[in-house]
Amino acid sequence: MDGLEAAQVDLRTMEKLYRFLWQTKAKIVFLLVGVIVQSGCGGSEGSVDQIIDDPAALDNIHLEIPELDTATWVNHFEPEKCSSGVNLVLYERRVPMLLDMNGRLIHYWPKLRAAGRAKLDQQGRLALLGVDNRLKVYDWHGELLWSWSPQVKEDLLHHDLIRLANGNYLLPLRSMKSGTDYLLEVNRKSEVVWQWRSLEHLQTDFPFYDRSSDDPVHINSVHELTSNQWYEAGDKRFQPGNILMSARHLDCIFIIDKETGNVVWTFREGLDRQHEARMIASGVNAGLIVVFNNRPRDLDTYRNSMIMMINPVTKAVVWEYTAPNFFSSVAGSQVTLPNGNLMIASSHGGRIFEIDLQGNVVWQFVPGFLPMRTERYEFDHCPQLAEINYDAPRPVMPKIDQPFIDQELRTFAIIGEVDTYVLHGARRAVVQINTGCRRVWVPADARIHVKYGIDPAKLFGRKLSGRFRATLKKETSDEIIQLVDDRVSSDSDDLWRVCNTELHDWGYEWAELCLSVDEVDGLLISARKERKSLRWENPIILIDKKKKNWQQNTDTKQISDHQEKQLKALGYIE
């Protein structure tokens, strides 16, 4: 009996007790039992406090899933060109669900809540990073088998988890004390059996790091090397078991020798806030390293991400994919599929899509939420999947000839250029600058959504007014649309206003969107505090009124607080 199986017996007994106490509303006894459990286990490795993901205590988004028409999320599917399988998706970035290639719901775990990453092993067990800062492993039915939390409770599990060939888990964490990342390998007995700390390597291996940053490393993916032709040819840098990592704030991917901890290989050329470095295990491109290069800083091109394949020995980029409609400023991933195709998650673009090696889109999935890192498994990946009688694949061709335009190509600002907080009763992404112009891509039959006004929390008893103006100009003509020309005063009854403008005569063209707040009581704005009182919510060009946009948030307070902690700690928001 391994650690998971041994833990399963005790945890199921405890879960039954918790559920009985909860269902009978014996709240005082429930709390006392929780205190006893916490004091007995210390709330650290292998403890069972906070392990029950009770939906009633979290949120009710799982109730939406049976009513969803998930098949409508797939708007392109050419079965004969795809490497078909089962897709693991996090609904609303939280609830794990399995969908077939036509988007039909196969299975889901309603009581589970993930914090951005989940993976299904070949026994049908689901491992995820929980919203309570724990690694958790569940069985196919959602019963908790095992959990682990950092011994230093303040340190943050983030971004990734992998199950190593030896059955242990490898996890990146961020030290809240030093602001740097480290790796821990945890076995099934909840013992830390190996660790690696970036702080010990910054001066020697990454002397180019930003010394002024409170998050200079920012590991966002870890990957265990498997057998490959480079090692078989005698290059020990690529020994199976060595660890390939992506460090976003170093603009670097690198390999560490698992035995010595030494950094033995690095690559930086052209990388800009990249994610998800993996070595392709098999197939036509076996041995190449593939990475999602976000490129948010417009060093070479404006808002255009790229997938790159790199020969690790020569460090030559031997294949790349980019497209004018492809951009995700943060997050994102790619998975190399058995036939050589790639499945790409443009997380802040709002879609997941599969391409062949010629760059042709052969499958596309556009849900009503921002999709996080998605995994695709073969139909017999685990016994539970192998037992399912799958419906025959149904080809789906796009209804329009033009491509889907990723969402951050349709917003004024991107992640890092907005402040997110509650304003006028809703959580809003507020533009950090009040005056400026940005290029945006206008799809066919779209509308632009603009919100603006005064933040009363930043008035501090002052009276002021501001003139808000927004314009949209086609790049191919002199035509200018005046979206907003409005004065808002602190004496107004409506301090927050909304403007929706239909763009029926526009279609698949670049435009310049300009915002300005020019006056305060007839004078030019000069005081920083006045600028902070007059705000624009990030304007967005919408292409489907039924879709949610990324500025909306339906998370519970527990989830929102944990997410905000993660985002602040990891540098995505101030």
Q: Is 70 exceeded by the pLDDT of residue 49? A: no
C-beta pairs of 161-168 under 8 Å, 24+ apart in sequence? 161/117, 161/119, 161/127, 161/128, 161/129, 161/135, 162/119, 162/222, 162/223, 162/224, 163/119, 163/121, 163/127, 164/224, 164/241, 165/224, 165/226, 165/240, 165/241, 167/2, 168/193
Q: Does domain 150-330 have CATH number 3.10.180.10?
A: no
- pLDDT band, very low/low/confident/very high, at 402 (cuts 50, 70, 90): confident
* pLDDT computed for residue 563 by the predictor: 57
* pLDDT computed for residue 567 by the predictor: 53
Over residues 272-318, the pLDDT tens digits come to 999 999 999 999 999 999 999 999 997 778 999 999 999 999 999 99
Comparing 507 with 456, the larger pLDDT belongs to: 456
- CATH 2.130.10.10, the chain: domain bounds: 150-330
Q: Is 50 exceeded by the pLDDT of residue 220? A: yes
- Lowest mean pLDDT across 95-99, 135-139, 243-247, 570-574: 570-574
What's the CA gap between 244 and 162, in Å, rounded? Answer: 12
Q: Is 50 exceeded by the pLDDT of residue 541? A: yes
Whether residue 296 contacts residue 251, with contact meaning beta carbons closer than 8 Å, is answered with no
**Residue of 568, 558, 567 lying closest to 130 (CA atoms):** 558
Q: Is 60 exceeded by the pLDDT of residue 573? A: no
Helix (H, G, I), strand (E, B) or coil at 309: strand
Chain centroid to CA 39: 35
Alpha helices in 378-503 (DSSP H): 383-386
Over residues 250-273, the pLDDT tens digits come to 999 999 999 999 999 999 999 999
- CATH 2.60.120, the chain: domain bounds: 411-542
- Lowest mean pLDDT across 12-16, 438-442, 473-477, 509-513: 12-16
Over residues 68-86, the pLDDT tens digits come to 999 999 999 999 999 999 9
Instruction: Round the CA-based radius of gyration of the chain to a whole number and report it.
Output: 25
* pLDDT computed for residue 400 by the predictor: 75
* pLDDT computed for residue 460 by the predictor: 82
* pLDDT computed for residue 441 by the predictor: 95
Over residues 432-464, the pLDDT tens digits come to 998 999 999 999 889 999 999 999 998 887 888
* pLDDT computed for residue 521 by the predictor: 62
* pLDDT computed for residue 51 by the predictor: 43
State the average pLDDT over residues 333-358: 97
Element holding 355 (H helix, E strand): strand 351-355
Q: Is 70 exceeded by the pLDDT of residue 38? A: no
**Mean pLDDT of the chain, nearest integer:** 86
Over residues 354-370, the pLDDT tens digits come to 999 999 999 999 998 99
Q: Is 50 exceeded by the pLDDT of residue 19? A: no
Comparing 570 with 562, the larger pLDDT belongs to: 562
Element holding 483 (H helix, E strand): strand 480-489
Over residues 412-427, the pLDDT tens digits come to 999 999 999 999 999 9
Q: Across the strands, what pairs with 221?
A: 246
- pLDDT band, very low/low/confident/very high, at 44 (cuts 50, 70, 90): very low
* pLDDT computed for residue 12 by the predictor: 37
* pLDDT computed for residue 565 by the predictor: 60
- pLDDT band, very low/low/confident/very high, at 524 (cuts 50, 70, 90): very low
Comparing 10 with 545, the larger pLDDT belongs to: 545
Over residues 327-340, the pLDDT tens digits come to 999 999 999 999 99
What is the number of alpha carbons within 13 Å of residue 146 lying toward its C-beta? 21
Q: Is 90 exceeded by the pLDDT of residue 528? A: no
Comparing 489 with 52, the larger pLDDT belongs to: 489
What's the CA gap between 94 and 115, in Å, rounded? Answer: 6
Over residues 202-215, the pLDDT tens digits come to 999 999 999 999 99
- % of the chain residues with pLDDT over 70: 82
> Which CATH number does 411-542 carry?
2.60.120
- % of the chain residues with pLDDT over 90: 73
Dig out the tokens for 90 from the structure.
């996090």
Q: Is 50 exceeded by the pLDDT of residue 570? A: no
State the average pLDDT over residues 555-566: 56
Q: Is 50 exceeded by the pLDDT of residue 32? A: no
* pLDDT computed for residue 23 by the predictor: 38
Whether residue 333 contacts residue 344, with contact meaning beta carbons closer than 8 Å, is answered with yes
